[in-house]
């Protein structure tokens, strides 16, 4: 048997920004084009410009071309060859050797072409045209280009179809588990299966037919869980006339889960709350082209915060993210769409600044929704982390665009400045009763491909969707910011499973989950700051995350860690007592200010009490307040020196710091997947975070390149292509692509400089 070969085609692409009619021709002269590596996002290579849309972070789109030259050996003849794109934003058109294969409208779908008739031994050329002219087409930053992996798979003609293996856990009883394997091949007459646990074969099975179902009984199964994400490997071998032809590998997590309308969520029979966060797909300076290890670093921090669930807001994610959820023990809600037939308001002059624009996926939904939804489910259904399929986010947002005569006037949760005419029922707008019809179709599409997981949708207007039948179509009902309806709806709709699909980060929202067994959990808005959905120029980002755009912890992170973890700790953060807004993220981890100014000091802790000291003098011990048991507050006139909080089992200290005296480059994190993430700290002479920020210039010497520099500051409009960037709160991060031995140099003026050695 010739083993199937998967070739990563990420290296050596040629790129041209702008339309180039004729570049689909195999012999096109592309020698002057820019050389790039996939994943690639051209939007972040361009300057911020307020003429672009605030919703998508003031970065541009456009039209561009990609071309890839690659060689195939003579023995490729007679083999089956498939070309897969992980994601192209958006309206991609693809050619191979001058042959048009087709296109894909949705920028988040993974799609595959069978290129067997078009490739040849020797040189081959892929040409891709990407069109993203309307940047006000989303409510968040999308990126532009081939921003996920590209692969070529070469197999025997007798092989498995794309998405043609689906392994699920049917049951787990004392001492054994039953697995169901659905398979679909091209030309096989039987299939052999082998399940391995590490380097040991656990069980084998076989079946006949080109497609069908096989069952495996696994003795003494090692179950997958959030605390112990154990994975098996299933090898499936397509056979023909007794000869093995093509093997395929699937990672398997054996686990059971269920939702109960009265008692919540269970994993492997054990009740647990979903402690989730929503995440968008960008990483600041990297745009939408986010390497796997960047996600790993973020998830490590979220795991330490107590998070156990991820919601992909609001589109199918990169498969690397779900791979990490499998490996690290996160449950996942896999979301398909942010809009259906009706185009939502897209802000382009600042959040809620009228008039909106109305470009987006709605123009492609009627033709493409089935293909896109099926692609997501087939691609992701073998991930044990996935427990929910979401068919849409806030599709029922009031008057955006759907309306109902049941409500003459209505506002949504972000409609403070909505004009009066936009709040009123308008018979000429789409009727909200249509949503139940579409939801039924989408739910049926999912169930036909996977009946092991429930279908959900994140409702922004459940008080309407309960009356139109939309909510009744769903297996599990998500409520966005509507905790006030939990008790009422639990009583009104017996058996309904309710959870918070999008929630604010306050103590009250979490206490509501704790107080009601029937609430399965919540998903915070958001896990990480993201580009776009910003309030207006010059701010380029949303600051909704518990992690900033660099992946550093914000005060809200420690507030949530106090709610979601048990090991005692305390974290200090301070702000001005006279500031109107009292959310954690108005605070900072710095004890510097003018003498005598009244400061609000927050002790984030799960210990229930804290004692505060200023320069060794106790300012008193306080118990946590009932309204927020995880944040203990003091008001303290500022005095330079040491601020220290002590709780049973932990303490934290802030010390007044001085002007910048050193740059620290932390290169300790291993270089994984060729990517280095160098954390930058600006320090005073005593090694504390400096009281001031400084612009730092970076240069790489050796076999590496700078991919991006991020500081997380919302109004820093320095082009991402620049190698100079200021710190923010004395921090920044530098992303490098490393191919060999290299060094990163940093200069901050006034004798400040540092060097970090890096090796792939």
> What is the chain's length?
760
Neighbours of 82 (CB within 10 A): 19
- H or E, element range at 611: strand 609-614
Residues 284 and 712 sit within 8 Å (Cβ to Cβ): yes
The position carrying tokens 């009244």 is: 598
Is the alpha carbon torsion for 632, 634, 638, 642 positive or negative? negative
- H or E, element range at 377: helix 365-380
Collect all residues with Cβ–Cβ distance below 8 Å to 132 and sequence separation of at least 6. 61, 62, 63, 89, 90, 91, 107, 142, 144
Residues 250 and 383 sit within 8 Å (Cβ to Cβ): no
Tokens of 505: 């980060």
Residues 193 and 204 sit within 8 Å (Cβ to Cβ): yes
Cα 605 to Cα 48, 341, 609, 633, 653: the distances in Å are: 39, 46, 8, 11, 14
**Which residues face 619 on adjacent strands?**
none
H helix count then E strand count, the chain:
10, 45
Q: What's the DSSP call for residue 358? A: -
DSSP 267-326: ETTEEE-EEEEEE-S--GGGTT---HHHHHHHHHHHHHTT--EEEE-SS---HHHHHHHH
Neighbours of 421 (CB within 10 A): 8
Residues 148 and 39 sit within 8 Å (Cβ to Cβ): yes
Residues 735 and 706 sit within 8 Å (Cβ to Cβ): yes
Residue of 743, 742, 746, 744 lying closest to 726 (CA atoms): 746
- H or E, element range at 515: helix 507-515
The Cα 587–Cα 570 span in angstroms is 15
Whether the link from the prior residue into 409 is cis, omega within 30° of 0, is no
Q: What's the DSSP call for residue 436? A: H
> What are the residue numbers of the active site?
394, 502
Residue of 95, 91, 94 lying closest to 105 (CA atoms): 91
Could you give the 3-state DSSP secondary structure of residue 439?
helix
Could you give the 3-state DSSP secondary structure of residue 512?
helix
Please give the distance of CA 220 from its chain centroid, rounded to a whole number. Answer: 34
Q: Rg of the Cα trace of the chain?
A: 27
Q: What's the DSSP call for residue 553? A: B
Q: What's the DSSP call for residue 672? A: B
Is the alpha carbon torsion for 264, 267, 270, 272 positive or negative? negative
**Which residues face 257 on adjacent strands?**
267
The Cα 527–Cα 607 span in angstroms is 24
Strands 724-726 and 695-710: antiparallel
Residues 759 and 743 sit within 8 Å (Cβ to Cβ): no
Could you give the 3-state DSSP secondary structure of residue 560?
helix
The Cα 526–Cα 543 span in angstroms is 9
Produce one character per residue of 592-615: b if its CB has 16 or more CB atoms within 10 Å, e if not. bbeeeeebbbbbbbbbeebbbbbe
The Cα 564–Cα 638 span in angstroms is 31
Tokens of 625: 């307040």
């Amino acid at each position: 048997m010739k083993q199937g070969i998967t070739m990563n085609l990420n290296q050596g692409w040629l790129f041209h920004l702008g339309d180039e009619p004729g570049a689909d021709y195999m012999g096109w002269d592309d020698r002057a084009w820019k050389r790039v590596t996939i994943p690639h996002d051209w939007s972040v290579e361009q300057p911020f410009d307020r003429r672009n849309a605030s919703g998508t972070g003031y970065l541009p789109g456009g039209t561009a071309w990609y071309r890839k030259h690659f060689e195939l050996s003579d023995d490729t003849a007679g083999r089956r060859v498939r070309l897969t794109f992980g994601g192209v934003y958006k309206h991609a058109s693809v050619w191979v050797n001058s042959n048009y294969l087709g296109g894909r409208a949705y920028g988040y779908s993974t799609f595959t072409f069978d290129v067997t008739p078009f490739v040849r031994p020797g040189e081959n050329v892929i040409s891709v045209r990407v069109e993203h002219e309307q940047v006000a087409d989303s409510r968040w930053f999308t990126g532009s280009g081939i921003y996920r992996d590209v692969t070529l798979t070469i197999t025997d003609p007798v092989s498995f179809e794309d998405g043609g293996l689906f392994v699920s856990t049917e049951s787990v009883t004392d001492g054994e588990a039953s697995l169901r394997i659905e398979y679909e091949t091209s030309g096989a007459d039987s299939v052999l299966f082998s399940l391995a646990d590490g380097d040991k074969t656990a069980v084998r099975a076989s079946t006949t037919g080109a497609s069908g179902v096989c069952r495996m009984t696994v003795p003494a199964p090692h179950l997958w869980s959030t605390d112990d994400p154990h994975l098996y490997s299933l090898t499936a071998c397509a056979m023909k006339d007794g000869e093995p032809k093509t093997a395929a590998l699937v990672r398997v997590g054996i686990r059971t889960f269920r939702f109960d309308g009265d008692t919540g969520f269970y994993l492997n029979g054990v009740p647990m709350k979903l402690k989730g966060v929503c995440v968008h797909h960008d990483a600041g300076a990297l745009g939408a082209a986010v390497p796997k290890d960047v996600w790993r670093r973020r998830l490590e921090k979220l795991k330490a915060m107590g998070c156990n669930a991820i919601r992909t807001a609001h589109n199918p994610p990169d498969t690397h993210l779900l791979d990490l959820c499998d490996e690290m023990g996160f449950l996942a809600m896999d979301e398909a769409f942010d809009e259906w037939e009706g185009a939502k308001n897209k802000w382009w002059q600042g959040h809620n600044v009228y008039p909106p624009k109305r470009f987006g996926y709605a123009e492609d939904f009627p033709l493409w929704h089935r293909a896109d939804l099926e692609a997501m489910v087939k691609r992701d259904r073998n991930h044990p982390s996935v427990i929910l399929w979401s068919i849409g986010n806030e599709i029922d947002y009031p008057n955006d665009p759907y309306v109902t005569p049941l409500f003459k006037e209505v506002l949504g949760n972000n409609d403070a400045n909505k004009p009066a005419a936009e709040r009123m029922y308008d018979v000429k707008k789409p009727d909200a009763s249509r949503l139940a019809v579409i939801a039924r179709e989408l739910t049926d599409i999912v169930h036909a491909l996977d009946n092991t997981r429930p279908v959900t949708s994140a409702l922004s207007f459940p008080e309407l969707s309960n009356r139109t039948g939309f909510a009744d179509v769903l297996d599990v009902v998500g409520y966005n910011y509507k905790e006030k309806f939990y008790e009422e709806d639990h009583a009104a709709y017996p058996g309904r499973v309710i959870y918070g699909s999008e929630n604010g980060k306050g103590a009250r929202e979490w206490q509501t989950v704790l107080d009601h067994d029937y609430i399965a959990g919540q998903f915070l808005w958001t896990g990480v700051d993201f580009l776009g959905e910003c309030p207006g120029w010059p701010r380029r980002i949303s600051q909704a995350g518990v992690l900033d755009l660099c992946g550093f912890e914000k005060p809200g992170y420690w507030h949530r860690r106090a709610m979601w973890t048990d090991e005692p700790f305390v974290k200090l953060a301070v702000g001005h007592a006279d500031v109107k807004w009292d959310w954690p993220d108005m605070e900072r981890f710095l004890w510097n200010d003018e003498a005598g100014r009244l400061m609000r000091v927050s002790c984030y802790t799960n210990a229930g009490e804290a004692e505060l000291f200023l320069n060794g003098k106790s300012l008193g011990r306080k118990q946590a307040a009932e309204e927020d048991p995880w944040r203990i507050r003091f008001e303290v006139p500022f005095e330079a020196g040491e601020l220290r909080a002590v709780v049973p089992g932990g303490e934290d200290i802030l010390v007044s710091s001085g002007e910048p005296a050193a740059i620290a480059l932390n290169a300790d994190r291993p270089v994984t997947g060729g990517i280095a993430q160098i954390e930058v700290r600006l320090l005073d002479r005593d090694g504390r975070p400096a009281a001031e920020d400084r612009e730092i210039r970076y240069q790489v010497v050796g076999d590496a390149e700078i991919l991006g520099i991020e500081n997380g500051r919302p109004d820093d409009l320095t082009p991402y292509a620049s190698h100079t960037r200021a710190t923010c709160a004395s921090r920044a991060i530098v992303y490098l692509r490393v191919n060999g031995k290299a060094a990163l140099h940093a200069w901050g003026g006034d004798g400040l400089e540092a060097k970090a050695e890096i090796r792939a």
